[in-house]
Amino acid sequence: MRPSLIFIAIVACALGCSFSVLTASEESAAANRPSKESSPQSGEKTDENVPREFLGFADVSEFRGVIDDPEGYVNLRKEKRADAPVITKVKAGEPFQFKKKEGEDWCEVKLKSGVTGWMHYSRIKLFFTKDDLPSKSEKGDEIDEEAREQGVNYYDVTQAAARGDHQALKTFLTLSTDGAGGEEHDGITCVVIHLIGDDAFAKFLSEQTRGFSDEAIAAGSGIVWPFDTKEYFRQHFPKSAKIMYPDYDQQIGDYTGAIKRNPKDSRAYRERGAAEFEIKHWDRAIADLDHAIELDPKDDVAYNYRGRVYAEKSEYDAAIKDIQKAIQLNPKAVAYYLNLGSCQLFGRRPREAIATSLKALELSPENAVLIKTNLAHGYLFDNQFEKAKAIYLENKDLNLPDGSGTFAAEVLADFRQFQEAGVSHPDMKKIKSLLASKTETR
């Protein structure tokens, strides 16, 4: 609710797909389901003699991978330890099948030749080809229908995103999906990012707002399952990871160096100010953002950041003024309207918050659930109880766009923040009771 926490939701990525194929020429359809060959039914006999150390992997999904090591090769070992005998060397660019048990560091690897052995998970990068992208959808495909409702041709935007087209990639990552369509989209997101690679993805992220980059691939998303998301990106997509999961102290040092080299680098001042904001150095952040705006008076991102800093300092009039300026410079940035509406609520300007929220709904109906938290609060604080009640009840059980919880849970969290800031209304108790009860029958 507080402006520092408001971002437009990007995909909630949770990858559940697995791979039973090795080469791109084989059936790509198998890339989206667990391998049947690798998971024999209970009691079923196989023609292979499975080594004892591989027992227990029968029900573990298979994936395609390649090695990622600066030496250009990784040793395939006979046993699960770094000093075990070497069976063979696996070279860069040679796809293989692998399985990884949750919580274990060593993966069972099977080469195209049929040779099997063990490899440490940190040396394995997921492998995809263009054949893993979805084909043109048939009528009734859920993800295509959801995209079409948002004015997007899913096949076209996915193909363009995988080629590195920045506008298509942004559209692709901001699609609102749910259910089976959402699960499919999450898996395809993993494919797209691997196809465009670290350099191109990092360049794309560097041109987005901090909020977008922070939420692009959430650290706990599971998009690169069976690996840990943040660790995987830092290992295999280091340039992108530096943007998505930043070390703010390191960033401050980096941007300080950039400013020394070029004292008129407005972006360096802005980004250093943003990093100072993240570690709650409010006054330092404002000083840097002041410099950024002085050097580039049309930098809407800097105005928005400075507004958020003022909001954290409970200086809501200054925050509102800055975020309004950001909107003037970039009237289509929906996140700015969310931030502005929050500041107006904390600043006891509910009627202004209503107008701001209605404008945000016009611009981004796909984020209606999140926007309507501000709208309902505005009506409540403006003593329009019936309008507020209708929105609260209508949306109470809906999920937020980023999958972080429900509308009702968000409202209750907002109420706690309002009360901590000394902003209250006698009807808040009524709303709490309504949200805690079962949905009324209409």
> How much is the pLDDT for 332?
92
Spans of the chain below 70 pLDDT: 1-60, 137-140, 210-211, 214, 402-404, 438-442
Output the pLDDT for position 272: 95
| DSSP-assigned beta bridge partners for residue 399 | 406
Asked whether the beta carbons of 268 and 232 are under 8 A apart, the reply is no
Count of positions (residues) in the chain: 442
Residue-level pLDDT at 208: 81
How far apart, in whole angstroms, are the C-alpha atoms of residue 107 and residue 99?
A: 6
Is 253 within 8 Å of 260 (Cβ atoms)? no
Q: 28-126 adopts what CATH topology?
A: SH3 type barrels. (2.30.30)
Lookup: tokens for 299:
């930098």
Q: Show the CA angle centred on residue 152, arms to residues 167 and 220, nearest 5°.
A: 70
pLDDT digits (tens, 9 = 90+) for 173-193: 888 777 777 778 888 999 999
* Count of C-beta atoms within a 10 Å radius of residue 152: 18
Please check whether residue 181 is in contact with residue 146, taking contact to mean a CB–CB distance below 8 angstroms: yes
Q: Which long-range contacts (CB under 8 A, 24 or more apart) does 240-243 make?
A: 240/198, 240/201, 240/202, 240/205, 242/202, 243/202, 243/205, 243/206, 243/213
pLDDT at 128: 95
- Taking only the tens place, the pLDDT of each residue in 205-233 is 988 876 677 677 877 777 888 898 889 99
CB 69 within 8 A of CB 92: yes
Q: What is the pLDDT of residue 77?
A: 97
How is the chain split into domains, by residue range? 28-126, 333-442
Give the predicted TM-score (pTM) of the model.
0.55
State the number of CA atoms in the 13 A half-sphere of 291 facing the CB: 19
